[in-house]
Structure 1
Amino acid sequence: MATRKFILFELNEVPFSVIDYYIRKYPTSFLAKTLPKCSQIETVTEDEGELSPWITWPTFHRGVTNVKHKIKDFGENLDGVDKTYPTLWKILSDNQLQPGVFASMHTFPMPENYTDYSFFIPDPFASDSKLHPAKLEPFQKFNLAMSRKSGRNVDSGIDLKSASQLALNLPSMGIKVKTLVDVAGQIVSERLDTWKKNRRRVFQPVLAFDIFSKLIRTKKPTFATFFSNHVASTMHRYWAATFPNDYKEYNLSDDWKNKFSGEIDFAFSKFESFFENLVKFADQNPEYKIVVASSMGQEATKAEQLSTELYCKNLGKFTSFLGLKKGEWEQKIAMHPQYNLTISPEKIDSFSDALKEVFINVKPLIFRQKEGGFFSINLGHRNLEEDQISFRGVKVGLPELGLVNEPIEDESDGTAYHIPEGSMIIYDPQDTSVKNSRIGGVKTTSFVPSILENFKIPVPEYMDEGRIRELLK
């Protein structure tokens, strides 16, 4: 059987419960009409400990769980694991198959052999804007600038310098007029209703997908990825507004619920337009299969009001208070309220000892330490009543450490969180018959060996023996 080509849309953390909700509510939608023609597979990640996307996606991409790859945080040095358990795209590029990568997790820095890829756009946590092809750099500069403004509270400002550079290059990149009208409408809507600025998180992938759409049509890669977190971030915040009956105790106001009840629908509708675009691409290029997958899912946790969250607004102050001088540490990219940095070798022990002396709300500060002087510090403490911490038994005000109890504008706590069960949808233009079942319990580690087998590349012995037969038909 001839090998097939694949487009992998990484729909972060979306479980079938959300997909099923959407098609029930919108039975005439494109997704509702197309889903019965797709293979539907509920996946499960076997990663150990607390799940996070920067753990579960490496599992999906490398074909081994975190017991082996041991990746926990952004900014880690991955040179060793890249040699021992390489990513799928590295294996494909080493076999001259020229894959394309667009914003998948842990794709910074670019590989040295980036010209062996059809395209390579690092993830939005990259420390610089280098990518391939280089003509897309104005987009990446804008994308990174807006990502820095899209924390727990969305900054309503726009990075004018990067935006102006992007504007000059829009036509050549593939960004459509319809998309620009959509973005303009968003800017107007948030001027009228300021709370809608939270939807900016949704529009970054809208711009990015236009570029991706042009890339796959011009480059025709054998395999390509596209990552989007826009539905996942909305689910975390607003699950309780859309699914209030999922909670035994509901301590959020009706005003809050009514205001945000449509946010998951709004975010998911953007994915639906992406999916329709990809299905049309596959219909025109039937050698392709479209795979939509998550590396895990989400479910309801608690429905509580969140007034404040502890953030570090000045990491220089924080590190100085704990005994470091400028030049003895370097910040790495992370998502608030996680803070990653590397420490000079001679300061590792003293910094670790100092962190152990920090107590917040009577509990020790949580941090992780890895080889190479890498530290990851967890803040994000909710609704703290005191503006101080304890260091070596002495009360210290938050400003002395560059910390702040940040007021949360939408007052939404994490109303949903990670679960092992994820989703996979496979659209095959060569088989659009109605599928009558949904397969369950398929390990995410079986994706990579299935793709390798499709391309007739020897599967490493360390990978899972399971195969996803729907990928191999």
Structure 2
Amino acid sequence: MVVAPPRRKVLLVEFNEITWRIIRPLVAQGKLPTFARFLAEGTVASPVATEVPPHLDPWISWMSVYTGRPREEHGVHFLEQPPETVHGPKVHDLAAEGGRSVGVFGSIMTWPPRKDIRGFWVPSTFSPDTQTFPEDLEPIQQLNLSQTRAHTPLAKGTKLVRQAGLVARLIKLGLKPSTLARLAAALAKFKLQPHRVWEKVSLQPIINFDFFERLYRQHRPDFATFHSNHAAHYMHRYWRSHDPSAFLTKPSDEEIRQKGDAITFGYQVADELLAKIERLVGPNTVIMVASGLGQQPYVDERFPEGRNVLRIRDINQLIDLIGMTGRCRSLSIMAPQWILSFPDPADLDTAESRLRQAWIERPDIPLFAVDRQGDTLCLNLTQRAFEDYDPNRRCVFPHQPEREHRLEDLAIASDPTRKEGWHDPVGVLLVKGPGIKSGVDLGECSNLDLAPTMLYLLNLPIPEHMKGRVLMDAFEADLADEVAPAGVPAVSDALAAPVVASGV
């Protein structure tokens, strides 16, 4: 079978939760030169997520981006839920099945890796295990998962970097001596300036880009992705120090001194990576920078100083409390959530019932938020039940009425700051490359528009189930007027028509 070539290659740069609220002021201050160039020489838009709270989460919104389907259709409820319960196909799959070479690096909910592709596949840093394609890339995930599982990236994972055997394998996979020197300098800096330890979070994407760059040069895929969550981390934790204006309680001068440039630092790392990506791609490649969704200051009158984020103190203790020791597999995912997988459906039913029945202070205040998909439970403390962390609050598991617990036995508030940023449906899209208009702002669109737009650029059929439209106004006439070859449907009027995102 003759496979028609792509109109353009596509590299999707996934900077999770970045927002125009931060980008535009920093561009105006001259602090993001690469973003400024994309604004001047490319097309931008503000994709609005079709999801609404309590479903406005990145693992849901990114799946909407990848599939062109709303949450009600793709079925994602929580991060790394069993893949057989998720309905695609994703753009990555459509590209591979359409004969395109594919390179996936870090995209959310892409585990397990496909092994029938031309290219490479390194799943998310929240994946259940270290599987990659090809298998010799697994040391990358050994490093990534060690950082993610620690919940303070590189705080514990740096010990792995010091292991000579792993370092040698990572160097073979692309880790540069200059990056190792940068890592060593950063660790030395943190000893002298411990208040800047938050910079560690940005080391992970810098290290990962070395691996991605080598793989991209080796395979030159038609469709590729690169994902980083570092900017989202900074906004969740340090927004009040970055810009106190929206907050009910203002930060101290010392807090601003120690943390005030964390968000700017994170965005400048993204700017640095974007410049490297721009130099990396070939002349026929369109770069699409997207955020999945955005962020905004966390302001709630119930929590004038920000809300504590409580974490389960000891997951093994909790598993023992519900009588499931040795009967399930636990996995920490995005803090503070856990997933528990059960081979026995009866154990799954029992565990779900006992967790849902647990309460704090009164039987009508659930201790846990629980979601069930397939053989897996997603588990978190009911965060909004805790207006303040009182370690002596009474917690009860009704299946053990004779035993009572204090909150401090089960939960811990260990984050360096309270919650300061939360999700916003309005995200970011920047598109730059051959055939893309310069200096155009499309305004709001739907996050469902990205998948059909990428498929159009790849010269692949657009499935009828996709609810979005191709963003034709981003294209110069020569790209917009290209006729699809035989066997590849042209974009229909229905797909090219605007779609109003439901729930926005």
Q: TM-score, normalised by structure 1?
A: 0.89
Task: Out of 17-26 and 287-296, give the one that drifted further.
Answer: 17-26
1:446 alignment counterpart: 449
| 1:239 maps to amino acid | W
- Secondary structure of the residue aligned to 1:43 is strand
Alignment of 1:287-298 (within 5 A): 287-298=284-295
Alignment of 1:35-434 (within 5 A): 35-50=39-54, 51-82=56-87, 85-111=88-114, 114-151=115-152, 155=155, 158-160=158-160, 163-247=163-247, 249-282=248-281, 285-302=282-299, 304-305=304-305, 309-326=309-326, 328-343=327-342, 344-362=344-362, 363-379=365-381, 380=383, 381=386, 383-387=388-392, 388-392=394-398, 396-398=404-406, 403-408=410-415, 410=416, 412-429=417-434, 434=438
Q: 2:460 aligns with which of 453, 457, 460?
A: 457
> What's the offset of the Cα at 1:257?
2.2
Instruction: Note closer, same or farther for the CA distance 1:125–1:30 as it changes in structure 2 (3 Å cut).
Output: closer
- Secondary structure of the residue aligned to 1:421 is coil
Instruction: Note closer, same or farther for the CA distance 1:162–1:52 as it changes in structure 2 (3 Å cut).
Output: farther
| 1:389 maps to amino acid | C
What is the alpha-carbon distance in structure 2 between the residues aligned to residue 148 and residue 278 of structure 1?
28
What is the alpha-carbon distance in structure 2 between the residues aligned to residue 307 and residue 3 of structure 1?
48
What is the alpha-carbon distance in structure 1 between the residues aligned to residue 309 and residue 31 of structure 2?
39
1:18 alignment counterpart: 22
Conservation of the 8 A alpha-carbon contact between 1:367 and 1:375: no
- Secondary structure of the residue aligned to 1:64 is coil
What is the alpha-carbon distance in structure 1 between the residues aligned to residue 177 and residue 101 of structure 2?
30
> What's the offset of the Cα at 1:422?
0.2
Conservation of the 8 A alpha-carbon contact between 2:31 and 2:268: no
- Secondary structure of the residue aligned to 2:198 is helix
2:495 alignment counterpart: none
| 1:35 maps to amino acid | L
- Secondary structure of the residue aligned to 1:442 is strand
Alignment gaps of 5+ in structure 1: none
What is the alpha-carbon distance in structure 2 between the residues aligned to residue 308 and residue 301 of structure 1?
12
Instruction: Note closer, same or farther for the CA distance 1:377–1:41 as it changes in structure 2 (3 Å cut).
Output: same
> What's the offset of the Cα at 1:120?
0.4
What is the alpha-carbon distance in structure 1 between the residues aligned to residue 157 and residue 141 of structure 2?
17
| 2:75 maps to amino acid | K
What is the alpha-carbon distance in structure 2 between the residues aligned to residue 272 and residue 144 of structure 1?
25
What is the alpha-carbon distance in structure 1 between the residues aligned to residue 373 and residue 39 of structure 2?
45
Conservation of the 8 A alpha-carbon contact between 2:222 and 2:458: no
> What's the offset of the Cα at 1:4?
0.2
> What's the offset of the Cα at 1:360?
2.7
What is the alpha-carbon distance in structure 2 between the residues aligned to residue 14 and residue 161 of structure 1?
29
Q: TM-score, normalised by structure 2?
A: 0.84
- Secondary structure of the residue aligned to 1:159 is helix
- Secondary structure of the residue aligned to 1:422 is coil
What is the alpha-carbon distance in structure 2 between the residues aligned to residue 352 and residue 255 of structure 1?
45
- Secondary structure of the residue aligned to 1:397 is strand
> What's the offset of the Cα at 1:352?
2.6
Aligned length: 459
Task: Out of 64-73 and 47-56, give the one that drifted further.
Answer: 47-56
Conservation of the 8 A alpha-carbon contact between 2:77 and 2:371: no
What is the alpha-carbon distance in structure 2 between the residues aligned to residue 28 and residue 57 of structure 1?
25
Instruction: Note closer, same or farther for the CA distance 1:441–1:46 as it changes in structure 2 (3 Å cut).
Output: same
Conservation of the 8 A alpha-carbon contact between 2:174 and 2:210: yes
Conservation of the 8 A alpha-carbon contact between 1:361 and 1:384: no
Conservation of the 8 A alpha-carbon contact between 1:48 and 1:66: no
Which digits, 9 at most, give the CA deviation of each residue in 1:113-153, with x for residues without a partner?
x14141100111122222123333222211211222234x9
> What's the offset of the Cα at 1:304?
4.9
What is the alpha-carbon distance in structure 2 between the residues aligned to residue 105 and residue 462 of structure 1?
22
Conservation of the 8 A alpha-carbon contact between 1:252 and 1:305: no
What is the alpha-carbon distance in structure 1 between the residues aligned to residue 19 and residue 232 of structure 2?
10
- Secondary structure of the residue aligned to 2:129 is coil
Conservation of the 8 A alpha-carbon contact between 2:26 and 2:32: no
- Secondary structure of the residue aligned to 2:86 is helix
Conservation of the 8 A alpha-carbon contact between 2:391 and 2:406: no
Instruction: Note closer, same or farther for the CA distance 1:163–1:125 as it changes in structure 2 (3 Å cut).
Output: farther
Instruction: Note closer, same or farther for the CA distance 1:331–1:46 as it changes in structure 2 (3 Å cut).
Output: same
What is the alpha-carbon distance in structure 1 between the residues aligned to residue 6 and residue 117 of structure 2?
23
> What's the offset of the Cα at 1:54?
1.0
Instruction: Note closer, same or farther for the CA distance 1:382–1:176 as it changes in structure 2 (3 Å cut).
Output: farther
Conservation of the 8 A alpha-carbon contact between 2:358 and 2:395: yes
- Secondary structure of the residue aligned to 2:278 is helix
